[in-house]
Structure 1
Amino acid sequence: MQFITVPPATSQPPAGLIVTLHGWGANAQDVASLLPFFNLPDYQFMFPNAPYPHPHSPVGRAWYDLRTENMYQGLAESRQLLVDWLQSLETSTGVPLSRTILSGFSQGGAMTLDVGLNLPLAGLVVMSGYLHPGAGTVTQSSIAPILITHGRYDEVVPLQAALKARETVESQGVAVEYHEFDMGHEIQPQMLEVVRNFVGNAIN
C-alpha cells in the first residue's frame, strides 16, 4: 500500500502514531495537507492511499466503489489490506497498536469504524463518516474509545449517519465522544482541535 509518512517534528521517538484515511475521490496528499492544523508535533503521522482509482478523478482514490450499480465493490479487499498493513506498522515504526490512533474522513471514516472496532488500537476518530451495512459489531473484549464528529449541514453524509453510528457502537458498551459542528461535509480547524484533545486523552 502506498502511503505518506511524516516523523515527529521534535526529532524524538514518536509519542504515538496517527493514521488518517482519506475520503472517496481524495488521496493521501489531501489529508496530509492538514498536518499543520493537527498541531501534534510529538506524533508520527501516516496517510495511506486507497487501493482503487476513482472513477471520475485522475488523481482520486477509493476504498471501494460508491456508484449505485457497484455499491461497496472492493470493500472486502480494502478491509483485509488495511488490517494487514495496520498490523505491520509496529514493526516498521516501533509504535504498538495500543499507541496508534486510526482516523478517517467520510469513506475513510467508514473504513475506520469497519476495521478499527476489532483491532487493539488506542482510539478511533471518525470525521463525517458512517457505518457500512452490517458493520459495527465489536468482537474483542476491550475496545478503544471513539470520537465521532459531523457537520449539521452535511449534504454528502447526512447527520443521521453519525447518530446511527454513535447509537450502534454505544449499545455495545463502547465509549463514544460525539461532537456536531455548524458546517457541511468538510474538515475545519475547530474539529481538529477536538481531535487533538481526544488524542491527548487516548494516548498518555
Structure 2
Amino acid sequence: MSLQHITFSASNSEPPAGLIVTLHGWGANAEDVASLLPFFRLPNYQFVFPNAPYPFPDSATGRAWYDLRMENMFQGLAESRQLLTDWLQSLESSTGVPLSRTILSGFSQGGAMTLDVGLQLPLAGLIVMSGYLHPEIATATKSSFPPTLIMHGRNDQVVPLQAALKARETVEALGVATEYHEFDMGHEISPEMLEVLRKFVVNVMK
C-alpha cells in the first residue's frame, strides 16, 4: 500500500535542487498544505504532499495519520509509521532525488510524524511546524541525524508551546543539530514561519 499524493515539479526545466515532502495535520489533507506552495518561494524544488492513510472521523475529506480521540489515542500509529517510512524510501525511484537531498516537513500531527520517522532516515533535514513528540519516540543512538528545524506559536491552544520545548530538549539530547523558533501566533502556518523554513532549506541544501 502506498500513499496517495500530489506532486509539483520544479518550475524550471532543470533537475530539482531537492525534494520537499510536507505532511498535513489531523483532519486536513494534501490539498490543504499544497495550497501553500506559492508561499514556500522555493521554485527550484520538487514538492510532494501525501495524504495520510486513514479517514478523519468528522469529515468526508479530512485524513489522519492515526486516531487522536481519547478512547482510541494513537491507534494506527505503528501502521502509519511503517507505511510512511516505506513510501519515503520509494521516492528516489519515482523522483530521481535521493533521501540525502530530501527534506521531510510537517504540521501538527504531520510534524509529530516528521520527528518520529525522519530521525530514523538519512534525510537532508526535518522541519516541524506546531508539532509534538510521540510518547515512544525512538532514542536509538545513531552516528548522525538530519538537522532539524522546530517552529511553534506561543499562543497555540491546540498543541501547547510546552510540546515544542520538550521536542527541542529531547532531540538536542540525542545530538540532533536543532534550530528553534517561536512566533506570536496560534496553531497555524504563518508567512513568517515559511520564511524561516525557506532559509533553513537553502542553508541545509548548500
TM class, shorter-chain normalised? over 0.9
Question: Match for 2:86: what amino acid?
Answer: D
Match of 1:27 in 2: 29
Secondary structure, aligned partner of 2:44: coil
Match of 2:160 in 1: 158
Is residue 107 of structure 2 the alignment partner of residue 102 of structure 1? no
CA contact (8 A) 1:127 1:150 kept: yes
- Quote the offset at 1:140 in angstroms: 2.6
Question: Match for 1:8: what amino acid?
Answer: A
Structure 1 residue runs without a partner (length 5+): none
What is the Cα-based RMSD across aligned positions, in Å?
0.7
Match of 2:173 in 1: 171
Write the distance in 1 (CA, Å) between the matches of 2:138 and 2:115: 7
Is residue 22 of structure 2 the alignment partner of residue 12 of structure 1? no
Write the distance in 2 (CA, Å) between the matches of 1:137 and 1:104: 20
Match of 2:83 in 1: 81
Secondary structure, aligned partner of 1:126: strand
Write the distance in 2 (CA, Å) between the matches of 1:8 and 1:135: 33
Match of 1:57 in 2: 59
Write the distance in 2 (CA, Å) between the matches of 1:12 and 1:37: 21
Match of 1:115 in 2: 117
Question: Match for 1:111: what amino acid?
Answer: M
Write the distance in 2 (CA, Å) between the matches of 1:39 and 1:136: 33
Output one character per residue of 1:77-133: Cα deviation in whole Å (capped at 9) or x when no partner. 000000000000011111000000000000000000000001000000000000000
Q: Greater CA deviation, 67-76 or 133-142?
A: 133-142
Output one character per residue of 1:129-165: Cα deviation in whole Å (capped at 9) or x when no partner. 0000020524431111000000000000000000000
CA contact (8 A) 1:136 1:165 kept: no
| 2:194 aligned to which of 185, 192, 195 | 192
Q: Identity of paired residues, percent? A: 78
Secondary structure, aligned partner of 1:149: strand
Match of 1:133 in 2: 135
- Quote the offset at 1:62 in angstroms: 0.1
Question: Match for 2:132: what amino acid?
Answer: Y
The runs of at least 4 aligned residues of structure 1 exceeding 3 Å deviation read: none
CA contact (8 A) 1:123 1:146 kept: yes
Match of 2:73 in 1: 71
* TM-score, L = length of structure 2: 0.98
Match of 1:149 in 2: 151
* TM-score, L = length of structure 1: 0.99
Write the distance in 2 (CA, Å) between the matches of 1:147 and 1:161: 14
CA contact (8 A) 1:105 1:128 kept: yes
Structure 2 residue runs without a partner (length 5+): none
Match of 1:40 in 2: 42
Write the distance in 1 (CA, Å) between the matches of 2:45 and 2:154: 30
